[in-house]
Structure formats: C-alpha cells, structure tokens
Amino acid sequence: MPHQLISHLKEGAAVQQYFLVRQAESRTDKSGKPFLSLVLGDKSGAMVARVWSDVVAKCPGPFAPGDHVGVQGKVESYKGELQLNVRYINTVEALRDLGRDLQEYDPDLLYQATPYDRQELWQELWQLAESQIRPPLRQLVLKVLDRYRDDFLVCPAARLYHHPYLGGLLEHTWFVARHALASLDIYPDLNRNLVLAGAILHDLGKIKELANPTAPERTVPGHLLGHIVLGWDMVRSEAQGLEFSDPTLLLQLEHIILSHHGALEFGSPILPKTREALLVYFLDDLDAKLKMMSQHLESDTGEGDFTSYNRPLQRDLYKGAPLPANDREPDEGTET
C-alpha cells in the first residue's frame, strides 16, 4: 500500500504506512489508564494520533520526536478535526529488528525538505566559494564548509518563520550567496571576498542553534546565546590556524556576521558599519522575507484576493492572478 499523504487523508480511511513522530506525550484517560497523544507528520503536513490504552499495552514504545514509525490505524473525526486512531505502532528500528519487510519505508516522504537537490546546492555553493573568493578568505570559507558539511545539508534556516525544513539553511545560503554575486556586478567597488564570505557564513550559527532538523527545536546554547554569536565564534575558531596578512580582513568578516540582523532590536549587538556588512544584511533579510511571503501564499487556501493576516510580516498579502507565461521572461523583439 503506497504512502498516502496526510494532506489527502479523509475520514474513514484505513492507514498502514510510515510517519515521523513530531510530538509525543503520555496522558491518562478518564478511567486512569495511560494513552499516548502523538502528532505524526509527513512531507505534506501533520495530524493528531491517539494510541489508546489497549494498544499501548502491546505497543509500549517509547516514542520520541524524530522517530520514524510504522503505523496501522483508521482516520476518524473528532470535534471536526481528523485524527488517527492507532491500532499498531512501532519504530522502524524495532520493526527492522523484528525482521519486518520495510520495502515501502521511504524516509524522504516523512518530512518537509527543501524542494532543491541538496547535494547539488552543496556542490554549487562550494564551487561558488572556491572559484569566486580569493585567499585567505577562500581557505577560511572552505574550511568552515568542510567541517560543517553534514550539518549544512540538513539544518533548517529557522525554527518557524522561513525555510523551517530539512536543508533550509543550505537553500537560504545558496540564494543569498548567488544574489550577492549578482549584486557585486552592480556595486563592483565593494570588497567581493568579504561580501561572498559573509553571505555564505552569515547564518552559520543556526547549526548550533537548532537541533532535530526534521522537527526543528532550539538547543540550550541556541536559547541562551543565540545563533549570531554562536556563528561568530565558529568562524573565529576556524580562523585561528590561518594566516591573514591584513589583520583587519578577518575582523571585517566577523563584523558582517555579528551585524547581519541590521539593527540592535533585531538581535545584532552592533550596527553594520561597512558597505559589505550592509549588503549582506539586506540580502539576508530580503531572502527571508520573500520566502515568508511565498510560504504564506502557498499555505493560504481560502478564497478572496488577499491572504489571511500574517503575524510576523504584520500584513496580509495580495494573491493576484496566476502569472501568464510571458510575464516570466522578456520577449525576443523590441517592437512596440
């Protein structure tokens, strides 16, 4: 039985497939018996699931956020919301140990991820750094990328607001870096090595701020220190073994990272004091806001010309008409 996307499930449907556990909580029913309240997810969304006490007895778990689980059950309606009544549940690891057939288990179906090929993004980002940045910043950037490669391939760009999914940080960084490259053609008197290194490394600290990439949550250091200074520290540490003939070059890169939120009230401890820092701040903010808009437009399924109110953007958005094909590219001629 192929995977049915959560967004397509209807009341009464029988389910036998795999999910990601996004939340898990033990509760007690009115008679005092324990049951599980779960939130199960796949790449299309999430739904509530109940594992009542009789099922808990034979499927004791435990189940934790991040687990991949095989589930049998039925979709029911409760107070107008669909939820899954679970009849059997076990982790993929346990099922494998039990020798079950996992042929239909496809982890890629279980969580949201960047729509781009992550390996490809990675190659392009590496290529950009290698070909466009001169030493010594080139070495620094490549060293950092190399060390955090595995994290970069999975880390989200944010917990909630933009690119909050597997590979989101990579996608965001790739957009900001390519945009920076394009902007340098318009503003060629900026220091291109600083701009490109800053564009690639500005959000590096997300890697230590966020854990559990398929169901992102903040780490304790993320909470207590924040990604801006964490990223600065990661770059600073990495730079220790390298030689900088111009002692202020590294300092200016550090400044770009610390100031990339653009204003104290947005969490940067310092304002951008160079044009390079200003540019990286703008391109980062622009990519995040454009993505927030895209996400909100996509998630809006209501009628009407405007979306519902988006709290972080503090506005509603115009949905407009679908773009005709010819609005996406210039035509060949210039006859008017």
Segment holding 150, helix H or strand E: helix 149-152
Q: Classify 261 as helix, strand or coil.
A: coil
Question: Which residues, 6 or more positions from 156, have their beta carbon under 8 angstroms from its beta carbon?
Answer: 163, 164, 165, 166, 167, 168, 169, 206, 210, 213, 216
Smallest distance from the beta carbon of 149 to a copy of itself, in angstroms?
16
Q: Assess 142 for contact with a copy of itself (CB under 8 A).
A: yes
Q: Which of residues 4-33 bind a copy of itself (CB under 8 A)?
A: 11, 30
Distance CA 118, CA 246 (A): 35
Kindly identify the residues of this chain, within the stretch 234-273, that bind a copy of itself according to CB under 8 A: 236, 246, 248, 251-252, 254-255, 258, 264-273
- Kindly state whether residue 211 participates in binding a copy of itself, applying the rule CB under 8 A: no
Give just the sign of the alpha carbon dihedral 129, 132, 133, 135. positive
Q: Determine if 147 is a binding residue for a copy of itself (CB under 8 A).
A: no
CB nearer a copy of itself, residue 12 or residue 60: 12
Minimum CB distance to a copy of itself smaller for 99 or for 188: 188
Residues in 73-132 at the binding interface with a copy of itself, rule: CB under 8 A: 77, 130-132
By CB under 8 A, tell whether 187 contacts a copy of itself: yes
Give percent helix, percent strand, percent coil of the chain, each to the nearest 5.
40, 20, 40
Q: Is 52 exposed, middle or buried (0-12, 13-18, 19+ CB in 10 A)?
A: middle
Using CB under 8 A as the binding rule, whether residue 179 contacts a copy of itself is answered as yes
Interface residue with a copy of itself among 111, 122, 152, 175 (CB under 8 A) is: 175
Least distance from C-beta 246 to a copy of itself, angstroms? Answer: 6
Look at residues 88, 86, 118, 90 and name the one whose alpha carbon lies nearest to residue 102. 90
Cβ 108 to a copy of itself, closest distance in Å? Answer: 24
User: For a copy of itself, which residue of 64, 102, 242, 290 counts as binding (CB under 8 A)?
Assistant: 290
Helix and strand tally (H, E) in the chain?
12, 7
Q: Decide: is 305 part of the binding site for a copy of itself (CB under 8 A).
A: yes
* Residues contacting a copy of itself: total by CB under 8 A: 85
Q: Select the residue interacting with a copy of itself from 44, 161, 225, 300 (CB under 8 A).
A: 225
Q: Which one, of 76, 85, 81, 3, lies nearest residue 44 by Cα?
A: 3
Position 183 contacts a copy of itself (CB under 8 A): yes
Q: Which of 44, 53, 191, 295 forms a contact with a copy of itself (CB under 8 A)?
A: 191
What's the DSSP call for residue 318?
Answer: B
Looking at the DSSP bridge assignments, the partners of residue 113 are 166
